[in-house]
Structure 1
């Protein structure tokens, strides 16, 4: 039986990986109803983040420091200047649910072959059909596998030569637009935490068609600006769809049947690792243990950028909302009513901040701290946040996907931003129309 390759592991990673895994395990125990305190989950993730801090990219470290510093500063001002009561024991808890979900989703990489899941081989095709296949493959597989799909498809395309600009733009847009509807994206986890009463069904009924429209827009834009006749694309086979469709069916089955009391975030948190372990156990417990150990020591520490960003953004949200409540006596809100005009303005502001270099989670967190939403307004806010995330990560020069494409394939974030501005403007027009439609539907 083959075994995963053993590679030297830095001490920081050897400590941080198991801590992240422990945080996930503790959260799963909480979901099972056992008396595990949320601060224990949060502490495991924060300790891992501190251990991995030296390994963060400079840009990530700068943003995370700014977010955490502002959050702590606002909490101190609220406590000292306005005598606000701060639940210090739960200081680090914001977004721990989201981080646990992210870690759970990462176990998808262990499903499939003994080398982990990868899209089945497909023959490269060129032209509009090939570009459409690349977009659809990244969009559908990425809706479950997230950023790893970009590398799987991108590396397969690179066998035909270095990736061209239209191929890179297709990878970017195919993945980012999945944030409009995929329950497996970090964006959905954040939104469900900030708006727990959102109606996911309505989000899906508007977000999924909008995501497919984004693909049509992208194909038209690339066909107009580039000669695609010689551009290799990815051929998506029906077998590629079995895993994402199966996972989505499992999540919806648990949500509407087996565990209706749990949120989709909670279901994904325990279901993805459970399915991954079950798929590996057929090779024996020793094999499974080796796979999990390798995952903890390699893949989980590699998530340091995402984990640090979400944890620190959670601290900013807590600090900002606490400060606003303390300074205004809980009476001030950004909008008296959150309707279509206010939602459209908020969406455009978050996208503008992403173009300026801020991750969309910052704009979403700040907006949430300035609103008090009840009932159907939470669904409208959720759509705004997801749409801003989808557009903002495609065009933002410092978004996770653009930084990853830069590191892997050498394309600068500024260049990606310039070439995505027209696409972002067209998609934003459709998003605003979607906001108006959703507001009328609620």
Structure 2
């Protein structure tokens, strides 16, 4: 047998590296779940596993995401060093990597939904293709409802189905983009909600839902109306939901509510989602046997989990930035400075506009949200307003931001320009901005 070639050796190295990284991510998830029981206390192990996996996968992260994440980490570390050396702050160096690990663990847990319902391993989205305005509405609604649970994977599921009829058109791409991004306004399964629940643990989710869901529906109506006016949609294929396709999202949401209000009221929704999604995936596969289940989990760990490297790195590095910035500000001001003395409607609107503007400039909304949180000292009554600002800026910012996860994913999968998507969404973002500003005023009057 001849020795392996350089390319074969490299392939083997990458496969081993990816498998190790996937195992570390899975270990981080399992460790996080164990901590919910209260029987296990493994300080920092979750973050160490996730950061080590990120280091192993660093070279595979898209260049722009890698630069952005690296810059966040460098700034965070620099601020921590300055806080200790210049201000004499006591920095908990072993714990500086813990920022946003709750959110990352939730994202990893949600990824296991891919093992539910598709037990033969083939992707075949339900529903029939429609055309015209009804087709655009079907695409938006399908991605919005399914994506509120399945997140970014729904875009590929629906997009690949539509692509069978030919290359995706601009209206189809905009339907995919806006359908997913607007779910950030209300879905408890989104990464945005995980971040917000960590930063504002005393927020009232019912209030967020009461304002976020109508705004999301307005986004769908706006999308259909605008695209019908701008494009000829007669031959534009869309996606049609069937009742069967709604069964899983509705069931998942109901299970989360049962645990949150009945079985485990002491756990946050983020924690419940983190263990419930993998648990449901195991239960769905176990009837096929232990060997089948083990194979599917193993394949998921070594393929799907390493593929999450971009979002994992961005969330972890943004968490490090938040820790560094908040530590530095506290040290420099003796914990006596905040960006705003009061967080009312004027401050909320200014914060929203600033985060959306930074997203248009190329920063992920998590950066703006994290920086804002680190400079505020929110009372319990202000946390709901802050949470709405963060979610709304995330929903609008990811739709229009050229470097958001959804636009980069559409670029990588379907060859569309991320900056082109930004230009196509500017009018939509402006209209949604106006609606959000009105909602902020209404919320402040009602709270």
Q: Per the shorter chain, which TM-score range?
A: over 0.9
Aligned equivalent of 2:308, options 303, 310, 316: 303
The structure-2 alpha-carbon separation of the partners of 1:330 and 1:414, relative to structure 1 and needing over 3 Å to count, comes to same
Q: Distance in 1 between matches of 2:211 and 2:127?
A: 31
1:115 Cα shift? 3.6
2:366 is equivalent to residue 361 of structure 1: yes
Aligned equivalent of 1:168, options 173, 185, 199: 173
2:268 aligned partner = 263
Contact 1:109–1:116 at 8 Å: present in 2 too? no
1:306 Cα shift? 0.6
Q: Distance in 1 between matches of 2:174 and 2:92?
A: 45
Q: Distance in 1 between matches of 2:279 and 2:107?
A: 14
Q: Distance in 2 between matches of 1:146 and 1:118?
A: 16
Q: Distance in 2 between matches of 1:84 and 1:308?
A: 27
Contact 1:27–1:38 at 8 Å: present in 2 too? no
Residues 80-104 of structure 1 show CA distances to partners (whole Å, capped at 9, x for unaligned) of 0000111112111110111100000
1:120 Cα shift? 4.1
2:408 is equivalent to residue 403 of structure 1: yes
The structure-2 alpha-carbon separation of the partners of 1:181 and 1:117, relative to structure 1 and needing over 3 Å to count, comes to farther
Aligned equivalent of 1:74, options 73, 79, 84: 79
1:112 aligned partner = 117
The structure-2 alpha-carbon separation of the partners of 1:173 and 1:117, relative to structure 1 and needing over 3 Å to count, comes to farther
Aligned equivalent of 2:94, options 74, 85, 89: 89
Q: Distance in 1 between matches of 2:24 and 2:324?
A: 26
Q: Distance in 1 between matches of 2:100 and 2:441?
A: 29
Q: Distance in 2 between matches of 1:30 and 1:413?
A: 40
Q: Distance in 2 between matches of 1:139 and 1:204?
A: 15
2:243 is equivalent to residue 218 of structure 1: no
TM normalised by structure 2 equals: 0.96
1:418-433 paired onto structure 2 within 5 Å: 418-433=423-438
Residues 249-305 of structure 1 show CA distances to partners (whole Å, capped at 9, x for unaligned) of 000111111111000000000000000000000100100000000000000000000
1:3 aligned partner = none
Q: Distance in 1 between matches of 2:260 and 2:123?
A: 27
Aligned equivalent of 2:198, options 193, 196, 200: 193
2:39 aligned partner = 34
1:45 aligned partner = 50
2:406 is equivalent to residue 388 of structure 1: no
Structure 1: gaps spanning 5 or more residues: 1-6
Query: 1:233 aligns to what SS in structure 2?
Result: strand
Q: Distance in 2 between matches of 1:439 and 1:89?
A: 40
Structure 2: gaps spanning 5 or more residues: 1-10
1:434 Cα shift? 1.2
1:181 aligned partner = 186
Contact 1:170–1:218 at 8 Å: present in 2 too? yes
Query: 1:197 aligns to what SS in structure 2?
Result: coil
Contact 1:110–1:117 at 8 Å: present in 2 too? no
Contact 1:119–1:240 at 8 Å: present in 2 too? no
1:137 Cα shift? 0.1
1:439 Cα shift? 1.4
Q: Distance in 2 between matches of 1:285 and 1:210?
A: 44
Contact 1:120–1:237 at 8 Å: present in 2 too? no
2:4 aligned partner = none
1:116 Cα shift? 4.8
TM normalised by structure 1 equals: 0.97
The alignment's C-alpha RMSD in Å is: 1.2
Contact 2:126–2:245 at 8 Å: present in 1 too? no
1:374 Cα shift? 1.3
